[in-house]
Every structure is written in structure tokens, then in C-alpha cells.
Structure 1
């Protein structure tokens, strides 16, 4: 169904800004093709647009739509990257268990039709303790064995690439003071991968902002960057959620360690493994931030790692 002319369908400002900055010419080319691609899927899948989700994602545009029978849904058009290429496969495997349900997909074009969630209400709307409790419940549903013939990237392979980048950034002049943290992160990764637990399907980017209110279940995850491997790797991103608030709290270092312990206990994840993955992921994220000139976030992430 063709789009109604009165519905604005311009890509969100954040999407334009991020894709232009992160992806350069490839991002600009994708943005130039986006209006025609959007119209194509509105017509092909017989969708009537209601509004563009704002502020939207960093590399995807989400349009709230109605299907031909009037059922609400969300059309997601995203730039395909190594991290997002298997999003459709993960959603299909979960089939609505803990995650948004996939209704239709054209994976080669990065087009997904998803069940409609309450897109403006995430776990960030809850107090921290309640949000962590709900997040743990969602993860329990997501951590299932992958299919025997799955094509998901392993945590070992994915973090090998991150480790190579860490080694390169370690040698930059701006990294001189934090090299001991980088060395420890790399050593911990090697140790973690030497004795991995039973692998499960992971979300890959699990935090409060990626869990939305729903009708089928109270909360459902969105935007997976799926991997297969150690549950502690997935949980490590949640450990540092709302970091700015955590840092501002009294006795922040102790609060961070208590949070780590509570999450490990709630999800039956080994505390030491969770601590080590949390350290690695915080150092990796901090070094990335420093490498792109975001000194404030970079220093905050590295300070958090040092607390662990």
C-alpha cells in the first residue's frame, strides 16, 4: 500500500549524522537509497505508515506501520554490517521468546517487519534495581542453545577482532597511560576462552535501552547483534549500564562490585568470569571511545574497568 502523502518519512537526524560520520561514503550512499527502499517495502508488504520512530537507531530507520489487516507492526530498514547481518536469524530462532517477534524479512536488503512494541518505553524508564531484575528475566529466555547448523559468529572469533584493534590502539601515543589496563584485558580474554562454558545464543548488545515494553510479555529485547558463546560476555554489557548514574553514586566502586555480584547470582553466571568479561568489554569500549575523540566516555569506561 502506498504511503500517505501527509506522513513525513524523512530519516531521523541522528541516523543521518551517525551514518555520515561512521560510514563515510558508504553511509551517504545508503541514505540516498533509503527513500526508494522504504517505499518499495511499504508497497511490497502492503503497509501503511503512521510515523517514523524518533530519535531512532544509529544505523537503522524504524517506521511504525499498519499491515493490510490493520495489525500494528514496525518496519526496520538497517545498514547491513558484520554485527547486524544475523539479526533476522536470531529473532527467528527465539520466535518471540524474550525478543521482539519477526513477522517478515528480506535479510539481504536489511528489511525486517517486526511486531509493534511500546517503542517509547524501555527499561530505562524503571528505577535501576527494578530494571536489572526485569533485564535478568529477559536474558533467561534469550540464552538458549543455537541450532546445530547455525551460522552465528562465536564470541571467540568476534573478540579476536576486538583484541587486534586493542593491540593497535595500545601503541598510539594517547594510550601510554592505559597500556597496563589493555594488557590485562587481553590476558583475561585469552584465559576466558581457554576454558569456555556451554555456549548459548547471545543478544550481543544487551542493555536497558534495548529492552522495550510489550503486550505479549512485559518486556522484550530488540536490536540483537547475535553471537554464540559464554553468557558472561552478554551480561558484561549490562553490568556497566547507566554508568554515569553509577559513577555519581556514593561509594561507586563498591556499588559496581555489588551490582556485578547480584547479576552473577541472579543468572547463575560465575562471578569471576563475569568480572573478567566486564573488564575486557569496558576496556575495549573505552579504548574505542578514546580512538574516536570521545575522551569523556573513554576515561569513564576505563575508570569503571579499574574498579573491577
Structure 2
């Protein structure tokens, strides 16, 4: 079959490679080779799919349903592979490895169209938080010997891009300045170093067979748990912004999530602020003005 990349993936990769993407051009051939090498039967490409990878629903030679995922190097698929191997299916999708090819992952099939976002908000947050807690483990090799990017390293790159955006956009500068100061303070004394999902939100938790809910699509990083939880705070941000009580709901959400997962409330608020400003500045930089407006308004509430 033809492995046509979903438009959502094409648009997202266009933001990071505006002058063309060799990986995207070679994707149909790479997907065909990956399928043939593993003797898979293709059912369909998952739509609308993700923003950094092609996801194909397949069956293995013995008929077992599985998922074939192909991602470019800048999406760090080998880091994802290492994290999934370390979690070994506890709280996260199981890695299946008949054949190992760089940038290609064969994964346990979950229910791709059923995430915790389908639940009422309070229940969704509870289930998502419970799933996230299972992932917060000591990284393989300990604090000094692991192979993963650290929160300091990742946010350092982001901070440079934020500062450049602020220099070109004075309206953005005050909020970026606050976010960068908060980051520096938070990195001065991190309370723990755990393996984190890195890009956790409700849509990253899918219904499974082995366990009711399992996390997918990590961009793993090592650092403090509050950093991982911060992205969950702003889930359904469009609903928060539309609500007259959005700012108070956000503050209650920070408090409730911090208490339920035993994370310092002020550190969670700080990382939530930094990550919202970073996402808002990036959205503004690539022309997603509506997304930027939502994220920066949300950040102002913190």
C-alpha cells in the first residue's frame, strides 16, 4: 500500500524544516522496507496521527496486532526506544523488537482512538496522573550514567530560542524574561532526577488490554517530576481560556495535581509557566497565532 504521510505530520515537520525534509520525502520507501523486513500485514495509517512520526496499524506474522512507528532523528526515536525498554511495559506501551532499525519502533497495539481525553475532565486528570506516576523511575545507569537528555539541557535550547523570539518581538519580552528567571531558579536545586515521559498529556494515554491505560509517545528526559507534570496542567487549554473561571480552575488544578503526586506546588507552577511560555513563543514564531494567544494568556494566569 502507499504510505502517504498525514497532513498533520506534514504541517508539523514543515515548521521544523521549512526548506524541505529529506526524511519525509523518503518516508514511503522507508515504511515499505520496515514492513517487509518484519513480515507485517498493514491495516491502515493512523489518522490524524502525530506531529513527529508516522504511525501504522499492522499485524505481525502470527496475527498479533501491533503498531509500526517511524520517526526522524530530530524526534529522538532511539531515546524513546531506550525509555520504553527500561519501563518494560509498566505504565507505558510495550516495545516489540523482532528487528531493530534506527528510527523504527514496533509497539504493542493499544486502542488508538480511545485516550483519557474521552473521560470527564476530573476522571481524565486522575487516570493520567496515575499513569504518569508509574513512569517516574530511576534512569538506567543512575543519575550520572544514563543516556538521556536532561531537563537542563532541553530547556537550555528552548531558552535560547525564547530569548531570540523576545528580541525580535518586544511584546513577548516581559513574559519570556519572567519564564527564563523562573527556569534558572528551578534548575538551581532540583529535588530529584527521574526518568520522565517528557511530553505527557491526556492524549498520550491510551486504553489498553494489559492495563486500562498506558502512556505512548514519550520524548524522554531526566529531571524533576514537576517538569513532567507541568504539561498536564494546561490540558484542554482552549476550554480553560473559554471559561469565566479559567484562571481559578488552573490554580486549583496545580494544587490538586501537586498534592496527588506529592510534587512541590510552587515548582509545578513554575515549570507550568515556563513550558506554557516556551510553547507560546514557539507557536508565535512559526505562525500559529491562535495557539500562541491561548498559551500566553494561560501563562499570564500563573
Q: Aligned partners of 1:89, 1:188: CA distance in 2, in Å?
A: 30
> Is the contact between residue 210 and residue 223 of structure 1 (CA under 8 Å) also seen in structure 2?
yes
Deviations, residues 115-146 of structure 1 (Å, cap 9, x unaligned): 00000111111111110000111011000010
Aligned residue for 2:37? 44
Partner-residue secondary structure (3-state), 2:137: coil
1:60-209 superposed matches below 5 A: 60-81=53-74, 83-104=76-97, 109-148=102-141, 149-172=145-168, 175-209=169-203
User: Which secondary structure does the structure 1 equivalent of 2:48 belong to?
Assistant: coil
1:16 positional shift: 2.7
Task: Provide the rounded CA distance (Å) in 2 between the counterparts of 1:55 and 1:82.
Answer: 18
Q: 1:244 to 1:144 in 2, by over 3 A?
A: same
Which consecutive unaligned segments of at least 5 residues does structure 1 have? 1-6
Evaluate the alpha carbon distance shift between residue 299 and residue 138 of structure 1 in structure 2; reply closer, same or farther with a 3 A threshold.
Answer: same
Structure 1 residue 177 displacement after superposition: 2.6
Q: Which secondary structure does the structure 2 equivalent of 1:81 belong to?
A: helix
TM-score (norm 2): 0.94
- Pair 1:71–1:239, CA change in 2 (3 A): same
Deviation string, structure 1 residues 81-111 (Cα, Å, up to 9, x no partner): 1544411011111110111000027666310
Question: Aligned-pair RMSD on alpha carbons?
Answer: 1.6
Q: CA deviation at 1:162?
A: 0.9
TM-score (norm 1): 0.93
Distance 2:214 2:81 in 1: 15
Whether the 8 Å contact between 2:87 and 2:135 is mirrored in structure 1 is: yes
Q: Deviations over 1:33-82 (max 9, x none)?
A: 22221121112111111111111112211111111111110111111215
C-alpha spacing 1:297/1:17, structure 2 compared with 1 (3 Å): closer
Q: Which residue of 2 aligns with 1:270?
A: 264
Q: Work out the CA distance in 2 between the residues paired with 1:107 and 1:101.
A: 15
> For residues 152 and 108 of structure 1, do their structure 2 counterparts lie closer, same or farther at Cα, with a shift above 3 Å needed?
farther
Counterpart residue number, 1:3? none
After TM superposition, the structure 1 stretch with the greater mean CA deviation from structure 2, 162-171 or 263-272, is: 162-171
Indicate if the aligned counterparts of 1:199 and 1:229 stay in contact, CA closer than 8 A.
yes
The total of aligned residue pairs comes to 299
Q: Who is 2:217 aligned against? A: 223
Q: 1:187–1:106: structure 2 CA closer, same or farther, 3 Å change rule?
A: farther
* Structure 2 alignment gaps of length 5 or more: none
Q: Please give the residue correspondences for 1:224-303 in structure 2 after superposition, counting only pairs within 5 Å.
A: 224-303=218-297
